[in-house]
Every structure is written in structure tokens, then in C-alpha cells.
Amino acid sequence: MFKLFSNKPPECPIDEPTRIWLENAFIWLVHQFGEDKIKSKRILYPSVEYFPIRYDGSKESLLYTAAIVAKQMDVNINDINIEIYREGIHAVQGSRLFTQAAENSKLSSGKYFGRNENNKYDVFIEENNLDHPEKMVATLAHEFAHIKLLGEERLADNDEHLTDLATVLFGIGVFNANSSFKEFSTTNTSGHYRLGYLRQQEWGYALALYAYYREEKMPQWAKHLSPNIQSDFKKSHEYIYANTDKIFQEEYKEPSKKESDDFYTGNWVGQYTYGKGYSAKQRRNHIPFTIQMQLTDGVLHGTCIEDGLANTFDEPAIIDGHIQGDNISFIKTYPSNLVIDKDGKTTAITGKPSQKIIYAGAFIDNEFAGKWEIKSIQQDKDGALYDHLLTGTWTMKKQ
């Protein structure tokens, strides 16, 4: 009862630096794509009116959906080559690859490769999206936002958070916000998935900014948000209208290189798992490791000590790579070649160089997570050469 008479001002659901970054990024996108277009663009939400498609898990349903999303985002669908892939398969040629993170392990839901030899943008959609139409729309919107930002040369370097935010300004953010965490149930399975780089509260604030910018105090499209996003949208909406004097008025100050380097430098503890190419017994294992990392101007050097290899190597593995924004990539090399049999027993082959183990991932929810792979050239029984790929997943947090 007493809450009705509370004078407590509305609180922002996100921290101050993130709020200011979102507002600055929003205005930057407005300048890129035009105020009038953003204010007048229709907003898409899950409805047969906007997506009159029979979703049957086919590629045709994907292509029809892609055409609708492309039109909404002012992209020529004829400039895009859309393919379906299965997570874990790595057989695509391309100079640049940016992925849409999904699931707890941060595996990809979609991939953008830039222009191919036919001058078309390669966009690959993970096959599980075909069974989840809203997730499919969100993934397409994110990958097409890469086209708007990277393909149209508005950005020189990839920025996944800005890419997520761009979907809001093109009137399709309802799908991406709802897909940031969504439960699902079918006749055969049930569970949940996560999608994207912005957090739930950040989606709520971004959509509230969008409504405020469009002068929509009670937007009808907000009722199509999931309950959690609706809650953050409402909190953000109340905060914005209680603080109109500072919304879009404050300048975001980018953390210095030194601050970024200092944050990532130190000890990180994590684990990796085995995936494609390993036995069922090995896939059940989680291998703990500790990385001592030194970052200087985005260049990463360090060492890695793994549980279980103390009796195999006298020295730690070496890591070398880069961190750009929230994205990390590095190569891990052991003191010599490492062989693991089907039972998990390890043997060092002295005198033979180590495999190059490629790690890639992103910093989301206070941890790095991604995939690793080892690629080698093998010869089959007929003497033909082929690519042999071993993969797995990994995560790590700062100690």
C-alpha cells in the first residue's frame, strides 16, 4: 500500500556506462540510416500479417523469410547468397567471418562472410533455425545488419553489440530481444536457447529508447515482447521519461587501451570439451586449464597449463593471438606433438612439432566462450588427401 505514495525515482535497469554507450550508439546509427526513415519505418513482430509463410523446416521457408527481412532492412535480397550449415562443420571459404552467438556454449546461429567471388554477400544460417521461425528472423536480421554496417563500409571493424542494436532501428528488434533468451517446446523436444550479444536488460533499454525517439508513449508492438523483456522495457521507459533532460545528451568515453589491456591481463581459469572427431567417452570429459594472459594493445601472449598434462610435458603450452572488442582469437601450441587415444591417454611425440589449436570466442556475461579446432591434412586408403577436423568448445573466467 505504501508503495503507491513512494517518491523514489525510477531506476535504470542497466549500469551508467552501458546506458550512455547505448544512447550514443543509437544516435550514431540514426545518422547512418536517416532520422525520417527510422521514425516512419513499420515495425515487424510475429504475425501472419508480416510473415505469411508456412514454416515447415524447409529452405524455401528460410528464403521467403530472408526476403521479408531484407526488404525491411533496405537490403537487396539478390545481393545475398544464403546457405544452410550444421554447427561444427567448417568447410567455407571466406576472408572475414562474423558469427551470431547462440546457446549456452556460444555456438553460432548464423555466419556472415562478406562478399564472395560472385560479388554476393555470403550469409549462412544454422539448420536448427529452420525449426524456430522467430529465432530464424532474429538471426537473419543480425547477419543482414552486418551487411548494413560492414558490407556497406559504415564500419571498418566488427562490433557485435552495435550490430545487435541496428536491428532495433530497422524495426525488427522485437525478434532479437525475445530471442536473447527463449524457451521452446516441440513434439520431440523442449528446452531454451540464447541468442545475440546484448543482454536482456540492454534489449529492454534499447527498445525503450526506440519508442522514445519515435515519440511512442504506449507502442502497440511492445505487447509482443516476452514477459522478461516487457518488464525491462517498462522500467527503461519509466526511467527515460523521468530523465528526459539527459537522454541522448551525455558523451560516452571509450575505455582507454590501457584499461582494456589491464582488465584482460591476468590469470583465467576455464575448461574445454571434445566434440567432432572424438569418441563418446572423450566427449563426456571436461578438461580444466589455467591461462596466464598478457595483453598489450590488443595483442595477446601467454601460457596455458592443463590438468592431466603435467606428466606429459615439462613446459606449459604457449598462446598467441588478439582481442578486439569482445572477440578473442588465439593459437595454442604444446611443447611438442600431442597424441590422445580413444581412452583419453596422452602421449608426447618428442621432435615432432605441436598441432596448431585455434581458439575463437567472445566475452559475454563475464566469461569468454567459444569453439576450438585442429585442422590437418590426412590421406585416405586410396591415397587421396582430405581435411581432417577435430573440434570442441571452451569457456574461461578471470580468476
Asked if residue 1 is part of any domain, the answer here is no
Which pLDDT does position 379 carry in this prediction?
Answer: 55
* 306: CATH: 2.40.128.120
| Average pLDDT estimate for 225-253 | 93
- Give the highest mean pLDDT range of 194-198, 286-290, 360-364: 286-290
pLDDT at 371 over 60: yes
Q: In whole angstroms, what is the distance from residue 187 CA to residue 166 CA?
A: 34
- Beta strands (DSSP E) in the chain are 80-85, 98-102, 107-115, 121-126, 182-185, 190-193, 266-274, 286-296, 299-306, 317-324, 327-333, 337-340, 346-349, 357-364, 367-379, 385-398
Q: In whole angstroms, what is the distance from residue 330 CA to residue 361 CA?
A: 9
C-alpha dihedral sign at 202, 208, 211, 212: negative
Asked if residue 389 is part of any domain, the answer here is yes
* One-letter amino acid of 357: I
Asked if residue 247 is part of any domain, the answer here is no
Which pLDDT does position 385 carry in this prediction?
Answer: 56
Contact 279, 265 (CB under 8 A): no
Q: Are residues 326 and 224 in the same domain?
A: no
pLDDT digits (tens, 9 = 90+) for 266-305: 999 999 988 877 778 888 888 899 999 999 888 899 999 9
Q: Are residues 205 and 335 in the same domain?
A: no
Q: Give residue 86's pLDDT band: very low, low, confident or very high (50, 70, 90).
A: confident
Which pLDDT does position 248 carry in this prediction?
Answer: 95
Asked if residue 261 is part of any domain, the answer here is yes
Q: Are residues 146 and 220 in the same domain?
A: yes
Which pLDDT does position 338 carry in this prediction?
Answer: 81
- Percent of the chain, pLDDT > 90? 52
Q: In the chain, what is the straight-line distance between the N-terminal and C-terminal CA atoms, in Å? A: 45
Least confident of 140-154, 220-234, 271-285: 271-285
* One-letter amino acid of 169: L
Number of structural domains, the chain?
2
Asked if residue 248 is part of any domain, the answer here is no
- Comparing C-alpha atoms, which of 142, 65, 149, 62 is closest to residue 108? 142
- Comparing C-alpha atoms, which of 272, 370, 374, 357 is closest to residue 326? 370
Q: In whole angstroms, what is the distance from residue 127 CA to residue 36 CA?
A: 36
pLDDT at 95 over 60: no
Which pLDDT does position 96 carry in this prediction?
Answer: 45
Which pLDDT does position 133 carry in this prediction?
Answer: 95
Q: In whole angstroms, what is the distance from residue 380 CA to residue 383 CA?
A: 5
Asked if residue 251 is part of any domain, the answer here is no
Domain that holds residue 390: 257-398
Which pLDDT does position 94 carry in this prediction?
Answer: 38
Asked if residue 226 is part of any domain, the answer here is yes
pLDDT at 184 over 80: no
Q: In whole angstroms, what is the distance from residue 310 CA to residue 335 CA?
A: 12
* Residue 260 or 57, more confident: 57
**Long-range pairs, 89-93, Cβ under 8 A, ≥24:** 90/373, 90/375, 90/389, 90/391, 91/387, 92/122, 92/124
Q: Are residues 170 and 99 in the same domain?
A: yes
Asked if residue 3 is part of any domain, the answer here is no
Which pLDDT does position 31 carry in this prediction?
Answer: 95
* Residue 169 or 257, more confident: 169
Average pLDDT score over the chain: 85
Q: What is the pTM of this model?
A: 0.65
Helix axes 16-33, 200-213, angle to 10 degrees: 50
pLDDT at 199 over 80: yes
Listed residues 242, 274, 301: the one ending a domain: 242
Q: Are residues 370 and 310 in the same domain?
A: yes
Which pLDDT does position 192 carry in this prediction?
Answer: 46
Q: Are residues 237 and 349 in the same domain?
A: no
Helix axes 160-169, 200-213, angle to 10 degrees: 40
Q: In whole angstroms, what is the distance from residue 230 CA to residue 236 CA?
A: 10
| Average pLDDT estimate for 4-29 | 87
Which pLDDT does position 377 carry in this prediction?
Answer: 56
Q: Are residues 143 and 63 in the same domain?
A: yes
Q: Are residues 233 and 321 in the same domain?
A: no
pLDDT at 356 over 60: yes
Q: Are residues 264 and 340 in the same domain?
A: yes
Q: Are residues 57 and 138 in the same domain?
A: yes
Which pLDDT does position 93 carry in this prediction?
Answer: 37
* Residue 129 or 103, more confident: 129
